[in-house]
Amino acid sequence: MIAAKHIIQKTLLKWRLLRIVEIALVAIGLGVLLYFVTGNFWISSVSFLVVFALYGLWLKPWKFGLKEVCSFLDNTIKELENSTSLLVSNKEELSLLAKIQQFRTAETLVAQKGKIHVEHKIVKSLGIALACISLGLLLNYVGFINNAISTDSKVLQRDAILFQPLDTLLIKVVPPIVKSQNVTIRYPSYTGKAAIVSSDINLKVLEGSLVNWAIGFDQTIQKAMFQFGADETTMPIKNSFYSNTLKAANSGFYTLKFVDTLQNEYLSELYSFEVFKDESPEVHMNNLQQFSSFEVEDSQEFMFTSSITDDFGITDVAIIATVSKGTGESVKFREERLAFDTPFQKLAKSVTLQKKIDLKSLQMEPGDELYFYVEVRDNKEPKANITRTETYFSVIKDTVIDTFAVEGTMGADLMPDYFRSQRQLIIDTEKLIAEKSTIKKTDFNFRSNELGFDQKALRLKYGKFMGDETEAPTVPKEIGAASISEDMLDDYSHKHDGNNEHNLVKEEEHDHEDEEGQDAEEDPLAAYVHNHEDPEASTLFAKSLRSMLKEAMSEMWDAELHLRLYEPKKSLSYQYKALKLIQEIKNSARIYVHRIGFDPPPIKEDKRLSGELKDIKGFSKTEDLKTEEAYPNMKAALETLALVISQKVNLSEKDKVILKAAGDELGVLAINQPSKYLKTLQELKWLSESEQTDVVRVSLVYAGLLRALPNQKAVPGQIQRYDGKMNKLFLEALEANE
Amino acid sequence: MNNQIQFINQELWWVALIIALSLVLLFVWKEWKGKFTTRFFINSLIGILATAALLFLYLRPAMLTEVSGKAVILTENYNVAQLDSIKKKEKSIKVIRYKPGLDTSKSLDSITEVIVLGNGLPSYDFWQLREVSTTYLKGVIPKGVINLKYNNKQQIGSDLEVAGLYNKADAGNRLVLETVSGVGLDSVVLNGEEKQDFQLKSNLGVKGKLVYQLTEKDSTDKVLTSNPVPVEVVEKQQLRIFISNTFPSFETKYLKNFLAEEGHELVVRSQITKGRYKFEYFNTSKNPVYGFPENALKDFDLLILDTETYLSLSKHNKNTLVRLIKEIGIGVFVQPSESLFKSTNQIVSFSIERAIGQKNLKVENNLLETYPFKFQNTNPSGITVANHSYAVVVGKGKFSTTVLSNTYQLVLDGKTDVYSKIWSTIINATARAKQMNGAFESFKLLSVISEPNSFALLTGVEEPMVTVNGEHNVPLIKNAALEDRWHGKTYPNKLGWQMLQMSNDTSVIRNYFVLDSVHWKSVIGENIRRDNSSFFDKTKKAEVKKMLRIELSRWPFFFIFLICMGYMWLSPKLKT
């Protein structure tokens, strides 16, 4: 019974709460909308209360009592048999039957309590509230309601535009006062920034922004002017506000001026208008070295992160990768545009992106190189700012490249490192001779033969320079030409490396009879003249490189012979000779480059030293080099002000024109160093506009202008003199004395 | 004795005499009764006596008498102790307190000896003491700046150099050269010496009539005194320059660029080969100059020749050049080389000696390359130009050279300021000056309001006229010895910049600054002291006899007249 009563009470409470929430939601929504429209917290609070009260009056949640809850329960739960009201009736007043019914109903209600569903419009109310809030946000975002927001904005004393009358005679007149002032800065649409109302009159705005000034006065005035640099525009009146709109293009200073109905002029102080540019995005590459190389067998993957920031939003990020294959003339490039692995959110101001690059997935093979950089664009319009990082390199090491070394300064390195050099052979031979007494004869012979084989290999290797791998010695000394049935070095040498004749200088004496014959046919005189043009053919060299090589090989032949005959001692002398010859070849190996220089045109013999001048012409040029005087108006202004200070006179209209011109010159300086010159510029502006001549101001401007002027260097000039009679007499006396 | 009697009312003495004689004649005629009686003689004598007495009563006879007396004149800054000791010695000494412009003739009429105490009298009041024997006892030297030296008319770009002497400085105080608006430009700290030299410097970058301030501040930056330093800064005048070189050189290349950029008219002639030249005209029209023709060259203010051109001048050309310098006043500068200093065949003698081991000179705090020579400065017509150059005056013009070589290196080093300073000094000292029709001279550096200011005008104009600020004429007195020298005096009654101008040629102008009497008191005081010491030393007279005209008493004449009249009235009555 009590439980049933409790359920009824709870349902009533729930119903009331739901109604209140509905009312509150709608009121909040409308209140927030009004806040966005008016910008005033109090207005929105009052509107909230009003809406709350009105909506509450309309819904009348207090009228819903226990009776209503009972009938609601009767309607929703059929099992209650329209008897819920019995539960709230007084027990004493009820008949027995009613009491029984009450008891039953109580039980039923407790059993059926899950079926109770109180009706509500919370979702609808929430929808209204959200709609109102988003409408407010939208209006604010678009900047549609800014004027409305700031119309009633209070002018702070600190930021108030200060006007001063240009004529002191009218001190008794109550001057018009700035009642409201607001500067609206509307950023370019791409920035996505809402228009803002600046409280600071000294503005700092993004290039391309639209700036609007709206000034309201407490009295009617005749006209208001906006002065930017040397330009002056009249501000049109709109809804009792004088306004002016300017698109931010370059920095400068501005003043506001107005004329009241009594023709008195008032001028504001000088305010700065600084324009800043949209910065290019900044990119930092983390965990990445400028150059990285990978072994073929290792995994060719690397990972890096890029931190990108921009002041208004990034629109595009990409990795521009270039793969190069091959070397020298056969190099091929392939460019690819890669995306970061981390998904990139457009218009974000700061992102950190990650990328894992697998060189294999780029179809790179050993020896291939990858160059890549990150390119970022921001959302600036019409032309985006683009930032590129440095270029990074990644290489898969090539295993095929061998470093040949015959001799350091040879034109071509053809010697594989598994060849024994002549010097090594000599060392090994000497070692063998030294060990002869300690080792077995068979061993000795075997090793001698081995050395003989190495000597052959070396000889054949050098033979390749000659273009003939199996060339016989020119002068076999003790035995005849050895024939080699098969090239045992096939397994070791690269065949294509052997064709290297073009790297060698021409031979002085031709081996091939038929070639010689051909040459003889071409130039029958060749055999009889000294050909100085060919350095190889010149008699300056005792022996050509080729013949020396041949000699060395013949020494090697002999050395090999004796090694094969197990006579390392005999072989040693030949080996030394061969080594000496190779050393000589090394020293004489040079690459000849044609010398490039100035070849003077030949002088005609008949013209030389003839003293003929008729073709030599005089020359004349006329030039106006006079440099413009720096800051002429500032100098003129100083001259004027100096007189004003020392003679205590007032500034004339003509003087004011000079001061205005000086102000333009100083303005250029002040943009770069406002802290240094702004005050002077302000006072100068004042003097050039004002009717009165304030001595303190004149002194300030004088000092400021003097500070702004660069030092004048000493210049020569004509001096003025009067040659009096005394001078003449003196000079005459001097001359007479000499 | 006769010339010792004078009459005070002597203007109409002859009228009085005629009237007296007429009276005597009338009297004698009235007494004449036809015969010479005793009575006639007595009455006539009485009548003559009465008339004479009457005449003297009118003429007021006076007698020159020798007088003597002593006085002490107290001027500003006098020493009280000196006055006391004088008073102790001479009890009856007359004390006169002098104020500028005070007429002392009345007080000094019976004075024969004067002692002046203090700074003394300004020179314009010296005439007051010409008649008396004067002893000048200097007062104490005033505290403050007692000597001030600077050029009050300068060209734009030059430096204002204010030099002076400070007496009894307070240690720790500062002297600051400021603009009129109080911006400090240069300062010097006073070290408390008895007398301290100081020099302050500032660049003159703006033309016009400027007024700087020399301010003394204490260590807490409190302004103690502030005095104006007026300077007139004039714009530079363009020169017309001709440069002739036998071959192009870097020195000429940079010099011509410098001069052309400054706006001077420049013709540069460089020889290409025999008879062929390269002409460059800067800021002037094309007008080639071959050789050294007098007609073409006389329009130039300065000729710059290299040594080779100069030494290879023909005799005819040399004569032309000398005539141009002497008569027209053209300046010639020779760009030096070793051969210039070794050569003896020159137009002028630069009096050079070899300076062994001299490789460079310190100019404007920069070591500059030089030729190993130096100027001896023995030529009486020679002028040393800084420490590097030398000019010789030849007639109206000048001939100069320098020991500096390769000055263009300064431009390459970026020291264009030093470069322009060096060449400005040389060119200013050599180039022809613009001939004016007159010039104002001997103007005091500081002229004070309400004090007479003397000036001299030098001009060849027959009857010159001078106005102050174009308003008032100033009477001029011609100098007795020099016929082109005129003297005048102004009595400034306005503060600040004033202008003296010759009406016959309005380009002859002198601007001067009139100070308030409170400014530069110590400098002016010291100047007066100096003037007084030299003036009273010269004019001190051993013994001055002063004759003063003293009127004879008129009572005796009156009594004579009365007795005569009484007799004349009584005698007829006594007879009857």
Distances (CA, A) of B47 to A439, B54, B507, B571, B573: 188, 11, 75, 13, 17
- How high is the ipTM of this complex? 0.71
A625 touches chain B (CB under 8 A): yes
Nearest-CB residue to B286 (from A620, A710, A715)? A620
pLDDT at A714 over 70: yes
Nearest-CB residue to B433 (from A698, A699, A721)? A721
Burial B312-345 (b: 16+ CB within 10 A, else e): ebeeebeebbbebbbebbbbbbbbbbeebbeeee
A624 touches chain B (CB under 8 A): yes
Residue contact A699–B180, C-beta within 8 A? yes
CA angle A475, A481, A484 (to 5 degrees): 135
CA distance B177 to B229: 9
Position A592 scores a pLDDT of: 52
- Kindly state the average pLDDT of the residues B47-54: 91
A626 touches chain B (CB under 8 A): yes
CA distance B266 to B244: 11
Chain A residues touching B201 at Cβ < 8 A: none
Q: Which residues contact residue A282 at a Cβ distance below 8 angstroms, ignoring those fewer than 6 apart?
A: A308, A309, A310, A387
Q: At what angle do helices A545-564 and A568-588 cross, to 10 degrees?
A: 160
Q: Are residues A272 and A292 in the same domain?
A: no
Strands B113-118, B70-74: pairing kind: parallel
Q: Are residues A703 and A678 in the same domain?
A: yes
Number of domains present in the structure of chain B? 5
Q: Are residues B413 and B494 in the same domain?
A: no
Q: Are residues A58 and A91 in the same domain?
A: yes
Q: Are residues A161 and A268 in the same domain?
A: yes
pLDDT at B224 over 80: yes
- Kindly state the average pLDDT of the residues A311-332: 81
Q: Are residues A34 and A122 in the same domain?
A: yes
Q: Which helix (H) or strand (E) holds B564?
A: helix B555-575
pLDDT at A611 over 80: no
Q: Are residues A233 and A332 in the same domain?
A: no
Q: Are residues B295 and B383 in the same domain?
A: yes
- Kindly state the average pLDDT of the residues A511-538: 48
Chain A residues touching B407 at Cβ < 8 A: none
Position B177 scores a pLDDT of: 92
- Alpha-carbon gap: A737 to the closest alpha carbon of chain B (Å): 9
Position A498 scores a pLDDT of: 42
Q: What pLDDT, in 10s, does the model give residues A364-402?
A: 888 888 888 899 988 888 788 888 888 888 888 876 654
Position A542 scores a pLDDT of: 47
Q: Are residues A432 and A575 in the same domain?
A: yes
* Rg value, chain A, Cα: 52
CB atoms within 10 A of CB A102: 21
- Alpha-carbon gap: B150 to the closest alpha carbon of chain A (Å): 17
Q: Are residues A74 and A132 in the same domain?
A: yes
Residue contact B279–A620, C-beta within 8 A? yes
- Kindly state the average pLDDT of the residues A535-561: 72
- Percent of chain A's residues with pLDDT above 70: 80
Among A609, A614, A625, A683, the residue to mutate for chain B (most B Cβ within 10 A): A625
HSE (side-chain half, CA atoms, 13 Å) at B416:
12
CATH number at residue B156: 2.60.40.10
Is residue A593 one of the residues assigned to a domain? no
Is residue A220 one of the residues assigned to a domain? yes
CA distance A206 to A251: 10
Residue contact B159–A714, C-beta within 8 A? yes
- Alpha-carbon gap: B92 to the closest alpha carbon of chain A (Å): 50
- Alpha-carbon gap: A602 to the closest alpha carbon of chain B (Å): 22
Please give the distance of CA B153 from its chain centroid, rounded to a whole number.
Answer: 14
Is residue A738 one of the residues assigned to a domain? no
pLDDT at B194 over 80: yes
- Kindly state the average pLDDT of the residues B376-392: 87
- Alpha-carbon gap: A686 to the closest alpha carbon of chain B (Å): 17
Span of A380-394, B158-172, B527-541 with lowest mean pLDDT: B527-541
Q: Are residues B307 and B320 in the same domain?
A: yes
The pLDDT confidence band at residue A514, using thresholds 50, 70 and 90, is very low
The pLDDT confidence band at residue A91, using thresholds 50, 70 and 90, is confident
The pLDDT confidence band at residue A12, using thresholds 50, 70 and 90, is confident
Nearest-CB residue to B205 (from A624, A645, A709)? A709
- The better pLDDT of the pair B52, B207 is held by B52
The pLDDT confidence band at residue A583, using thresholds 50, 70 and 90, is confident
Q: What is the DSSP letter of B129?
A: G
Chain B residues touching A738 at Cβ < 8 A: 380-381
Is residue A490 one of the residues assigned to a domain? yes
Residue contact B283–A627, C-beta within 8 A? no
Span of A95-99, A310-314, A369-373 with lowest mean pLDDT: A95-99
Q: Are residues B81 and B53 in the same domain?
A: no
Is the CB of residue B355 less than 8 Å from the CB of residue B374?
A: yes
Q: Are residues B157 and B212 in the same domain?
A: yes
Q: Are residues B208 and B337 in the same domain?
A: no
- Percent of chain B's residues with pLDDT above 70: 97
Is residue A524 one of the residues assigned to a domain? no
Residue contact A714–B281, C-beta within 8 A? no
- Kindly state the average pLDDT of the residues A341-352: 84
Residue contact A622–B483, C-beta within 8 A? no
Q: Are residues A439 and A559 in the same domain?
A: yes
Domain that holds residue B309: 240-430
DSSP structure string for A141-157:
HHTTTHHHHHTTPPPPT
Is residue A411 one of the residues assigned to a domain? no
Q: Are residues B504 and B411 in the same domain?
A: no
Strands B546-551, B61-67: pairing kind: antiparallel
Cross-strand bridge partners of residue A227: A232, A255
Chain A residues touching B179 at Cβ < 8 A: 702-703, 706
Q: What is the DSSP letter of A591?
A: -
pLDDT at A423 over 50: yes
Chain B residue at shortest CA distance from A630 = B205
Q: Are residues B320 and B407 in the same domain?
A: yes
- The better pLDDT of the pair A394, A406 is held by A394
A648 touches chain B (CB under 8 A): yes
HSE (side-chain half, CA atoms, 13 Å) at A471:
23
- The better pLDDT of the pair B139, B301 is held by B301
- Alpha-carbon gap: B231 to the closest alpha carbon of chain A (Å): 11
- Alpha-carbon gap: A650 to the closest alpha carbon of chain B (Å): 15
Q: What pLDDT, in 10s, does the model give residues B385-396?
A: 888 999 998 888
Position B412 scores a pLDDT of: 92
Domain that holds residue A108: 2-137
CATH number at residue A170: 2.60.40.10
Q: Are residues A362 and A445 in the same domain?
A: no
pLDDT at B360 over 70: yes
Taken as a whole, chain A contains a residue count of 738
Domain endpoint, select from B408, B430, B452 = B430
A736 touches chain B (CB under 8 A): no
SS3 labels along A203-226? EEEECCCEEEEEEEECCCEEEEEE
Q: What is the mean pLDDT of chain B?
A: 87
* Range with the largest mean pLDDT of A482-491, A513-522, B318-327: B318-327
Cis status of the peptide bond prior to A382, with omega within 30 of 0: yes
Is residue A520 one of the residues assigned to a domain? no
- Alpha-carbon gap: A707 to the closest alpha carbon of chain B (Å): 9
Strands A163-165, A332-338: pairing kind: unpaired
CA distance A550 to A582: 10
**Which residues in chain A (680-719) have CB-CB distances under 8 A to chain B?**
698-700, 702-703, 706-707, 709-719
Position B267 scores a pLDDT of: 94
Nearest-CB residue to B420 (from A640, A715, A723)? A715
Chain A residues touching B280 at Cβ < 8 A: 620-623
Is residue A409 one of the residues assigned to a domain? no
Q: Are residues A123 and A170 in the same domain?
A: no
Chain B residues touching A716 at Cβ < 8 A: 236, 239, 259, 262, 264, 423-424, 427-428, 431
Q: Are residues A558 and A430 in the same domain?
A: yes
Chain A residue at shortest CA distance from B509 = A720
Q: Are residues B247 and B230 in the same domain?
A: no
- The better pLDDT of the pair A599, A551 is held by A551
Q: Which residues contact residue A481 at a Cβ distance below 8 angstroms, ignoring those fewer than 6 apart?
A: A472, A473
- Alpha-carbon gap: B540 to the closest alpha carbon of chain A (Å): 31
Q: What is the mean pLDDT of chain A?
A: 77
Chain B residues touching A619 at Cβ < 8 A: 272, 277-279
Q: Are residues B270 and B416 in the same domain?
A: yes
Nearest by Cα to B74 from B62, B61, B87, B91:
B87
Domain endpoint, select from B385, B404, B430 = B430
Residue contact A638–B206, C-beta within 8 A? yes
Q: Which helix (H) or strand (E) holds A622?
A: strand A619-623
Domain endpoint, select from A248, A276, A304 = A276
Domain endpoint, select from B469, B488, B515 = B515
Position A670 scores a pLDDT of: 83
- Kindly state the average pLDDT of the residues A36-61: 85
Q: Are residues B258 and B319 in the same domain?
A: yes
